[in-house]
Every structure is written in C-alpha cells, then in structure tokens.
Amino acid sequence: MALAKFLKETYGKQSVLDAIKGGGWKAFLDGTLAQATLVHGPNATFVGMDALGNKYYERMTEQYGRHRWVVFGDLSRSASGQEPSTVTPEWHGWLHCITDSNPANTDVQLPIYHRPHHRNYTGSPMSYAPKGAWQNPQKRTWRKVQYWQPNQ
C-alpha cells in the first residue's frame, strides 16, 4: 500500500509496471531508481520539488550520506533516464549535506549575477560549438591577422 502511494505521488503512476513503461525501465537497469522507489521510497519524507520537476526525499533512518536523494522528473532525458545536471545548486547543497536548510522552505539569497539553471547540453544538438567546429554551420575564416582599417 505504501509503495503504491509513493509511486502515485512521485511518478504519477499507479503501479511499478506503469512506472517502468513510462521510462523508468532505463533507470531500473542500473538500480538507482529501483532502490529509490522500492527500498527508500515508501517510508521517505517528501522534502520538496524544484522548477525542473525533480523531487527530493529524505529518510533519517538511513546511513548518513545516503539519507537524501532525488527522483528525476523527466526519465526520458538521457540514456539512463537520469540527468544529474538538472539538480539546481541550492538543492545540490542540500543533497550533499553542505547545508541543512531546505531550499523549498528557505529564501535563498541569489547574487546579482545569477542566471537561471539549465541542464548540461553536452552531446545534444543544443550544445556549444565554437567557430571552426564541425558541428557549427558557421565556417571559420582562417586568417590569423585582421588589420584595422581606420575609415571603415
């Protein structure tokens, strides 16, 4: 009963089979999602959710360092079903016990140069490609020196 409730709250699925069909089979292969769902999950405390859909849990009866974990929101993003670069810096600090303040309940003071967090796009079509890279459609001019023209 507790497992079915946890699956419904976490993945929006009614059963383990529905969670596997919804993309969870990728993470079940390496065991991390299976452990988060079947071992930790049913007795865990839901701590919060970030803007990218990741859900964070805590269970104080577990070993220190393994008592906090994340269940990634979109299991179809990567080959393993997990994308660790989607964890925001505030939640990263909480996950790794750098801070005990819960980002869902505390107002995090952001610096003036703060930019919104996004996942790492390496290996995707949206990744950065400098001029001259074979992925970049803009070809590089290979002139090493460009002289300054004062009248232009």
Fill in the amino acid letter for 132: G
Q: What is the pLDDT of residues 16-29, one digit of tens each?
A: 677 666 665 655 66
Strand partners, 48: 56
Q: List strands edge to edge, sheet with 68-71.
A: 45-49, 55-58, 68-71
Structural contact between residues 53 and 18, judged by C-beta atoms closer than 8 angstroms: no
Tell me: the pLDDT tens digits for 70-119?
887 776 655 555 778 888 888 989 999 988 888 888 887 888 998 888 88
Return mean pLDDT, the chain: 76
Structure-token pair, residue 26 = 């990728």
Query: Which pair of structure tokens corresponds to residue 46?
Result: 């839901």
pTM of the model: 0.66
